[in-house]
Structure 1
Amino acid sequence: MSRTLTVGLDGSPESLAAAEWAAREALLWPAALRAVYAGDQQPSSYRPFAGEAVAAPGEDRAERLLREVRAALTHRHPGLDVTTARLDGRPAAALLEAAREADLLVLGSRGLGRAAGHLLGSVAAAVLDRAERPVVLVRAADDTSDELPARDHAGALDGDVVLGLELHDHADDALLAFAFDAASRRGAALRIVHGWRLPAYPDVLSAGTDEREVLDTLLRPWREKYPAVEVTREAVVGGAGPHLVDASRNAALVVVGRRNRRTAAVGSPIGPVTQEVVRHAVAPVAVVPHD
């Protein structure tokens, strides 16, 4: 069965960095790449990077953005199957619908706490909150212009895949499957960071042993399935968020989880660790929904 990665464009440097990252990822899978523009509003920050810098009067800049990104990606990545689409409706709803038809949705981001471009801020938050498939957020380098970025400005090519794991979460399989697969296709090591909360009356030695046994049990079938993936483990006391943000500086990808809406408690299904990573991580962040 053919697979498809979808990238959302809005003309910002972040969305162009996402397009370059998604192109490289599509070749790794392998998969086709679908570049989409959601909504009726014209891209406010996009400056055409082929031909004239100023759009002609009445020109549809969104269509030009899609056309130029497709041409640039197919030129830069021979053999990559790239299609484009203009999506009607509100951006968040349109992107959520596009995500249902894709194996992975890729968006540009400066973090949920800062607004710039149509796909950042409230739209990105709404997509992360409700997407049924994994979503990857990609940052742009500080010096990236309104053009497709160089390869090293769209997420690291090298580095470990870093996984933030809650040991007593019953949906660990979804995260482990995604993380092991990502590490395997890159030929990268998998670094697992998990929080460790001390009991009220701790026996530190036995508590640590219990945590290791739980993790060993979780990892055993995945290590058998992916024997070539080197796995390292890091237990941290308390929340894993700051440790994952720190690890992202040298990572190829950070993988974190998010509860599905139908199984989450009242309120946002995005937990505090995932929120911190999404806002502050340097590397691309994959948010994987799970039951």
Structure 2
Amino acid sequence: MELPLVVGVDGSDGSVRAVDWAAAEAERSGLPLRLVHASLWEHYEGVRPGPGTDRPSEQIRAENLVASAEERVSRLAPDVKVSTAIEPEDPVTVLLREAREAALLVLGPRGHGPLAAMLLGSVSLAVAARARCPVAVVRGGEPNRRAVHRRVVVGVGDHADSAEATRFAFREARWRRCELVAVRAWHGPDRRQAQARVDEVLAVVDGEYPDVVPRPELVEGPVRRTLLDQTAGADLLVLGAKRRLPPLGPRLSRVQHAVLHHAACPVEVVPAMD
């Protein structure tokens, strides 16, 4: 049984964009799509049943949101198999549970209004840091989200997480039939080491995807600025991230935090367990 792409649905503009992006991703990959909404409506004080029903109004709203998202997917990608779930629980808890049986977890970067945007931004960061599957945060302008640049970029780091992220980036480039660029930032006398590291990572993965020809790109400068600059002309940026088993908790670097906040294209964070 193929694991699905799971999308967090909350009705915000960012969530709608995430649904659209995930529908396209499911269509090109051939994977099923699962639409998930989570809300703590059962814990809200004073929640009343909706008119003509004994169900809470927040539950009715959740059902309408998910139904609308499902209809949207059916229009955009009619051949994609879709399932849905509505959970009366904390969104982070639900999404992390869904991530145990997901090929990819897809999230929008923001929610409704200033306060909700902060809260849902925190949800996205928490899930990206702790999920056991790759997480995509759908950022950027419409050209980047619609994959007009035909370019996937993967950041090559120093640790084992780079190999898994690069493998994922190869798969994305094959699905999209587009260019794959392996980017490594370097400083001063470190260029040879940077080249050696890129060659090492590509050699591990390259044989698995013979139809994808990667292009190494070495850039002198800070890692954060290098990666953010790359996102302007990319459809997707893929980064590796370390994961630590409980009780040690999540680990995302400052660079990864910055990219998730400011990238001009969707970002995928791919976990590698310590």
The alignment's TM-score, normalised by the length of structure 2, stands at 0.84
Show structure 2 runs of 5+ residues with no match: 43-49
Out of 193, 216, 220, the residue aligned to residue 237 of structure 1 is: 220
Match of 1:156 in 2: 147
Q: In structure 2, how many angstroms separate the alpha carbons of the residues matched to 1:174 and 1:115?
A: 35
Find the residue that maps to 2:206 and give its secondary structure: helix
> Residue 118 and residue 88 in structure 1: after superposition, are their counterparts in 2 closer, same or farther (change >3 A)?
farther
Please show how residues 220-259 of structure 1 align to structure 2 within 5 Å: 220-259=203-242
Aligned-partner Cα distance in 2 for 1:90–1:241: 32
5 Å-filtered alignment, 1:123-202, equals 123-139=123-139, 141=141, 154-166=145-157, 168-198=158-188
Structure 2 Cα separation of the partners of residues 8 and 237 of structure 1: 37
Question: How many Å apart are 1:152 and its aligned residue?
Answer: 5.2
Structure-2 residue corresponding to 1:48: none
Structure 1 residues 16 and 63: alpha-carbon distance in aligned structure 2, compared to 1, 3 A threshold: same
Q: Does structure 1 residue 68 correspond to structure 2 residue 68? A: yes
Alignment of 1:1-291 (within 5 A): 1-41=1-41, 58=57, 60-110=60-110, 116-117=116-117, 120-139=120-139, 141=141, 154-166=145-157, 168-198=158-188, 204=189, 207-262=190-245, 269-291=251-273
Q: Secondary structure at the match of 2:120?
A: coil
Change (3 A) 1:61 1:152: farther
The one-letter amino acid paired with 2:27 is L
Structure 1 Cα separation of the partners of residues 104 and 162 of structure 2:
19
Identity %: 36
TM-fit CA distance, 1:197: 3.9
The TM-score with structure 1 as length reference comes to: 0.80
Aligned pair count reads 259
Shift of 1:181: 0.6
Please state which structure has a larger fraction of its residues in helix: 2
Distance 2:169 2:110 in 1: 23
More displaced stretch, 86-95 vs 212-221 = 212-221
Q: Which stretches in structure 1 are left out of the alignment for 5+ residues?
A: 43-54, 142-150, 199-203
CA RMSD of aligned residues (A): 2.7
Mapped to 1, the partners of 2:88 and 2:118 lie a distance apart of 14
> Mean alpha-carbon deviation: is it higher for 10-19 or for 209-218?
209-218
